[in-house]
Structure 1
């Protein structure tokens, strides 16, 4: 017998003074409530309620035991809440991120998870590697480039992070034609074929067909650009380095597109992570 469940029926009927009203409050029909009260009385060996034409009243035993039943239910609720807090304090969420995700967004994800009572453990890798790790259960979820082949994982919304072009310092770049002598420093095509091809197609639409210079991270991109060999893209508004200038070219087709992927069942704190990705960093010192 589920004692707490039957005590909940008893308290509801006693407080409502009516079986039908108690059933409505509990989201049940009346017969199971009546049957539950009878089972509780049989279990305890005492009559708790009196049934009259006007409704339901308490017996002497019922009046004496009602406060204790309510206290037991309240204590059980507090016990459950405390257990959930302890569980949350020890929850570890394994999150993967692509190298191009700005540090601000990574910090926002980790901080959001911490505020929700868990601990984030991050792994930085390519989209292909992250998708494989989530599929294999080695990660709980990952922030990957879009588009990408992510089947059989579930996906969140696509988030567009504004990006700017990085060019060698002092070089006049007012239109795409000024980039024709430079290679494109970007993640290797093997890291995510779909996103790489989309970037190249977008540049070709602007009259460019650059040689791809593999640059797995923003650091690699900056090094190639500072050396005067290439141009690149970054979604990190705080990236400022010697030998590199930032210029605004194109539009949303060059934004960094990312999305959260996970393996069913849905990982806890998914909404927390997506809120961090779409957060507004303005006004944050």
Structure 2
């Protein structure tokens, strides 16, 4: 039995004082309304209406139950409205500064989002507290009790001053590495530094808060950098493809997130 539907019959008949007018108001024929009210009365075990040649009237039990029917129907409407608000609300997404503007645009095009940029530690705290719905963070990283998606390797390129010959990582010796500070993702930073050292490169690190600072440092000839923007072009900067072991590794973290939203965000990163 659809209780809310039958309560709607009850309220319509109570307000109209007539089964026929109630049915017309509901856009129905009279028999289903009459049968629905009878079914509700059997379910409740009380008679809601007294029937007569001049129409119908509320019984004492019906009069006492009518305000509660209004409350239940009103609560259902508020419930549906709140669900709609949550459905239509933009997903509050956090991203690390290493994620390129191109990828952020792809994320925004894949689903309705508002984007916050911060370090992995700050993003994990924001998702944990409920200030953000989800975040794209470094891997590896301490994510507390948050749910995690699969590790995604975002293709990346080295940025070098124009004309700087690079056929191997070791050709970058002598140039500092411009990138966000270690505090933005400590474990990921240390793992990446280990990969560079294993490849024969142990550069000095120059902090750069975002891609603009990295590009500026490279264009000035003061450093090399990295980007995951597949279309980045800038005066004084060359983009060089090297081994994918240096790709940006990220994961999506969340507390509660619709599967279709998770899938859309993950797809936009690949």
Do 2:219 and 2:237's aligned partners in 1 also have CA atoms closer than 8 Å?
yes
Instruction: Report what 1:96 is aligned to.
Output: 94
Instruction: Report what 1:3 is aligned to.
Output: 3
Deviation string 1:221-268 (CA, Å, 9 cap, x unpaired) is: 1111111121111100121101110111222x2111111112x3x13x
Instruction: Report what 1:230 is aligned to.
Output: 223
Instruction: Report what 1:272 is aligned to.
Output: 261
Cα distance, 1:41 vs. partner?
A: 7.3
Do 1:102 and 1:235's aligned partners in 2 also have CA atoms closer than 8 Å?
yes
Cα distance, 1:85 vs. partner?
A: 7.4
Do 1:105 and 1:277's aligned partners in 2 also have CA atoms closer than 8 Å?
no
Deviation string 1:183-241 (CA, Å, 9 cap, x unpaired) is: 11112111111110111011111101111111221111111111112111110012110
Unaligned runs of 5+ residues in structure 2 are 8-38, 51-76
1:1-285 paired onto structure 2 within 5 Å: 3-4=3-4, 38-39=42-43, 43=47, 83=81, 86-88=84-86, 90-114=88-112, 120-251=113-244, 253-262=245-254, 264=255, 266-267=256-257, 269=258, 271-279=260-268
Cα distance, 1:167 vs. partner?
A: 0.7
What is the CA–CA distance in structure 2 between the aligned matches of 1:41 and 1:124, rounded to whole Å?
59
Unaligned runs of 5+ residues in structure 1 are 8-34, 47-78, 115-119
Deviation string 1:16-71 (CA, Å, 9 cap, x unpaired) is: xxxxxxxxxxxxxxxxxxx999526755689xxxxxxxxxxxxxxxxxxxxxxxxx
Q: How many pairs are equivalent?
A: 216
Do 2:160 and 2:238's aligned partners in 1 also have CA atoms closer than 8 Å?
yes
What is the CA–CA distance in structure 2 between the aligned matches of 1:81 and 1:210, rounded to whole Å?
58
What is the CA–CA distance in structure 2 between the aligned matches of 1:151 and 1:125, rounded to whole Å?
17
What is the CA–CA distance in structure 1 between the aligned matches of 2:128 and 2:78, rounded to whole Å?
32
What is the CA–CA distance in structure 2 between the aligned matches of 1:194 and 1:202, rounded to whole Å?
13
* TM-score, structure 2 normalization: 0.69
What is the CA–CA distance in structure 2 between the aligned matches of 1:223 and 1:43, rounded to whole Å?
80
Residues 39 and 186 of structure 1: CA distance in aligned 2, closer, same or farther (over 3 Å): same
Cα distance, 1:277 vs. partner?
A: 3.3
Residues 244 and 149 of structure 1: CA distance in aligned 2, closer, same or farther (over 3 Å): same
What is the CA–CA distance in structure 1 between the aligned matches of 2:176 and 2:260, rounded to whole Å?
39
What is the CA–CA distance in structure 2 between the aligned matches of 1:231 and 1:188, rounded to whole Å?
15
* TM-score, structure 1 normalization: 0.65
Provide the aligned C-alpha RMSD in A: 3.3
SS in 1 for 2:135: strand
Instruction: Report what 1:26 is aligned to.
Output: none
